[in-house]
């Protein structure tokens, strides 16, 4: 692992790597275990600095994926007819897959998504479902502000003048203050 | 002679005084124990009276949560008794800021989206300001008062008292009363179903030292008046009420001029616990036609003989409807 590769991996983790270097850096990540270790550490440090929740299972994710893939039984449906030159390509594809899993899976495990980013369940228009939208309590259920204000005044006066309102609840004005105005 | 007098004759039921005392001691002990137990465990009506006294005399501050429907609100409350006068300040902790202050000068309520509302605390009828005693006997015709057990609220032990209506024209209440001070730490407003319509509960409470609540003088320490002891004379009122909901009587009449200078008559009817206000306005610009509500408070209105009549109260809709249907022009001078 050269210093330049390490700097490229660091820049990739920060999303600051030049686009022309991304392919080569991903290729190096797929083939160099020490680079993948650096990739995980950089994400770990960044998450810690941002006080983000850290999933303990994130460590050596690509290594575990690789081992799991290697131990999976292979049951070919037909005799291998693959030419000899195809095996190096398969290895490269596996390495690229592991790198892709590291790139996609590690940020997910660190919960690095922006809070403002829409979740996959949102509608196409970007609006949340109706039942999830904020809706305050409705005062008086009227669409006449002047009349609502008058009823508010009547209610304040009623509570002030009611001889036993102190008995009908220890805070007779909670209804007034507890309901926000709709308008 | 003396020895003969001290010796009971055969078959006599007389016993020496010392012997009688010995035999009666278990009974005396039981009576004393019962008296002490009664004093230590007052009945539900006594607990309600103690609650009313605590509200008039104790100073406290805390945070309450207010649950109505599926909405949960939190409020900061400061309640002080100074110079015998209750001063209360309330502020909403979520949503738009709403505040309410209550004191010697009256009530001022600042709600979001509208101008502040002020109700003066002085004047005709204003001396009633929460100063009428609860009369368990008067309530008995329309409510049953029952002990409902014990519960723990805001980290304190409470005794629960239920005020249960005997019909559908009024709400019921469950008061969770602090065992030590009598303050209500939780209150459930109960409708006809088992689930409460509204709940309000302290989640933190600090009782302020007695030195900060000099309740030894002033109007708040005067004995509260009995319910209905100063009813207005119907013969002099501009409006009268017929076929009121059972138990409701007229307990107050007041009049003033609204912001536009138009006269407003205000009547308060009560059954000793629930109360309803009736406002009669002369040709207002806007008025309520039909019914509406805010939480468990219902309002209904209509026009009668060029007047707008609005009925408001923390009662079921049927009750405000009955009051509205029962209002008639009275013998007194109507403006």
Boundary residue ending a domain (B221, B250, B278):
B221
Q: Are B298 and B268 in a shared domain?
A: yes
Q: List Cα–Cα distances, A159 to A79, A178, B234, in angstroms.
A: 89, 14, 23
> For residue A155, is it within any domain?
yes
CB pairs under 8 A between A and B: 195
Contact B132 A163 (CB under 8 A): yes
Indicate whether B178 and B71 sit together in one domain. Answer: yes
Q: Are residues B107 and B169 in the same domain?
A: yes
A139 and A65 in a single domain? The answer is: no
Give the pair of three-digit tokens for residue A82: 């693959």
Best interface-test mutation with B: which of A139, A170, A173 has the largest number of B CBs within 10 A? Answer: A170
- The answer as to whether A114 is a domain residue is no
Asked if the structure places residue A121 within a domain, the reply is: no
CA distance B168 to B171: 7
Closest CB to B254: pick one of A161, A165, A166.
Answer: A161
Has residue A21 been placed in a domain?
yes
Say if B229 falls within a structural domain: no
Residues A29 and A63 both lie in one domain: yes
How many domains is chain B built from? 3
CB B52 to CB A161 under 8 A?
no
Q: What is the pLDDT of residues B171-226, one digit of tens each?
A: 999 999 999 999 999 999 999 887 899 999 999 999 988 654 444 333 444 444 45
- pLDDT tens-place string over residues B87-105: 889 999 988 888 989 888 8
CB contact under 8 A, B277 and A176: no
Domain that holds residue B34: 2-7+15-40
d(Cα A36, Cα A97) in Å, to the nearest integer? 13
- The answer on B245 and B180 residing in a single domain is no
Does residue A90 sit within a domain? yes
Q: How large is the average pLDDT for residues B281-300?
A: 90
Residues ≥6 apart with Cβ < 8 Å to A171: B64, B66, B75, B77, B90, B187, B200
Q: Cβ of A145 under 8 Å from any chain B Cβ?
A: yes
The verdict on A13 and A90 lying in the same domain is yes
A157, B68: Cβ pair inside 8 Å? Answer: no
Q: What is the mean pLDDT of residues B146-151?
A: 95
pLDDT value for A106: 53
**A50 lies in a domain?**
yes
Q: Which of B247, B15, B103 is nearest to A173 (CA)?
A: B103
Q: What is the pLDDT of residues B250-269, one digit of tens each?
A: 988 988 888 778 889 999 99
Which domain does A99 fall in, by range? 3-74+83-109
The torsion angles phi and psi of A3, rounded to 5 degrees, stand at -65, -35
Q: How far is B23 from chain A (nearest CA, A)?
A: 48
Tell me: do B84 and B203 sit in the same domain: yes
Is residue B277 within 8 A of residue B268, CB to CB? The reply is: yes
Inspect the interface and report whether the beta carbons of A168 and B71 lie closer than 8 Å: no
ipTM, interface predicted TM-score of the complex: 0.78
Chain A residues with CB under 8 Å of B75 CB are 171, 174, 177-178
Interior CA angle at A170 toward A153 and B113, to 5°?
30
Contact A137 B68 (CB under 8 A): yes
CATH of the domain at B215: 2.50.20.10
The predicted structure's pLDDT at residue A31:
82
Digit-coded pLDDT (tens) for A138-163: 778 777 888 888 898 898 888 887 76
If asked whether residues B95 and B200 sit together in one domain, one would say yes
Identify whether B53 is part of a domain.
Answer: yes
Residues B198 and B243 both lie in one domain = no
User: Which comes out higher in pLDDT, residue B20 or B67?
Assistant: B67
In this structure, are B214 and B247 located in the same domain? no
Rounded to two decimals, the pTM is: 0.64
* Whether residue B128 sits in one domain with residue B67: yes
């Amino acid at each position: 692992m050269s210093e330049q590769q390490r700097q490229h991996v660091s820049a990739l983790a920060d999303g600051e790597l030049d686009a022309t270097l991304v392919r080569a850096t991903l290729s190096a990540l797929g083939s160099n275990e020490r680079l993948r270790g650096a990739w995980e550490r950089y994400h770990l440090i960044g998450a810690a600095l941002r006080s983000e929740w850290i999933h303990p299972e994130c460590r050596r994710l690509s290594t575990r994926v690789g081992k799991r893939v290697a131990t999976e039984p292979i049951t070919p449906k037909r005799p291998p007819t693959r030419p000899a030159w195809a095996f190096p390509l398969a290895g490269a594809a596996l390495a690229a897959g592991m790198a892709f899993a590291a790139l996609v899976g590690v940020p997910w495990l660190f919960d690095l998504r922006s809070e403002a980013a829409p979740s996959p369940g949102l509608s196409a228009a970007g609006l949340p479902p109706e039942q999830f939208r904020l809706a305050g309590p409705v005062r008086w259920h009227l669409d006449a502000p002047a009349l609502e204000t008058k009823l508010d005044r009547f209610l304040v006066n009623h509570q002030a003048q009611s001889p036993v309102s102190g008995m009908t609840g220890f805070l007779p004005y909670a209804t007034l203050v507890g309901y926000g105005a709709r308008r | 002679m003396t020895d003969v007098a001290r010796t009971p004759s055969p078959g006599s039921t007389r016993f020496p005084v010392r012997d009688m005392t010995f035999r009666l001691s278990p009974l005396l002990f039981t009576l004393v124990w019962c008296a002490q137990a009664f004093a230590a465990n007052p009945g539900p009506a006594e607990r309600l009276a103690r609650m009313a006294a605590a509200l008039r005399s104790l100073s406290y501050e805390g945070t309450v949560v207010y649950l109505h429907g599926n909405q949960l609100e939190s409020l900061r409350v400061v309640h002080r008794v100074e110079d015998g006068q209750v001063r209360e300040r309330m502020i909403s902790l979520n949503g738009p800021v709403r505040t309410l202050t209550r004191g010697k000068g009256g009530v001022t309520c600042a709600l979001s989206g509208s101008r502040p509302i002020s109700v003066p605390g002085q004047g005709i009828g204003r001396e009633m300001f929460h100063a009428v005693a609860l009369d368990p006997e008067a309530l008995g015709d329309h409510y049953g008062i029952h002990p409902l057990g014990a519960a723990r609220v805001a980290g304190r032990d409470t005794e629960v008292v239920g005020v249960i209506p005997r019909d559908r024209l009024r709400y019921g209440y469950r008061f969770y009363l602090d065992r030590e001070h009598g303050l209500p730490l939780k209150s459930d407003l109960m409708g006809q179903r088992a689930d409460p319509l509204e709940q309000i509960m302290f989640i933190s409470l600090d009782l302020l030292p007695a030195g900060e609540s000099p309740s030894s003088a002033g109007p708040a320490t005067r004995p509260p008046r009995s319910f209905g002891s100063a009813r207005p004379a119907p013969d002099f009122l501009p409006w009268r009420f017929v076929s009121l909901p059972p138990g409701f009587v007229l307990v107050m009449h007041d009049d003033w001029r609204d912001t536009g200078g138009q006269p407003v008559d205000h009547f308060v009817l009560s059954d000793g616990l629930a109360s309803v206000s009736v406002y009669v306005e002369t040709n207002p610009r806007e008025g309520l036609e039909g019914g509406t509500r805010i939480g468990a408070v219902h309002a209904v209105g209509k026009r009668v003989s060029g007047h707008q009549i609005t009925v408001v109260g923390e009662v079921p809709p049927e009750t405000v409807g009955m009051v509205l249907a029962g209002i008639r022009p009275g013998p007194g001078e109507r403006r």
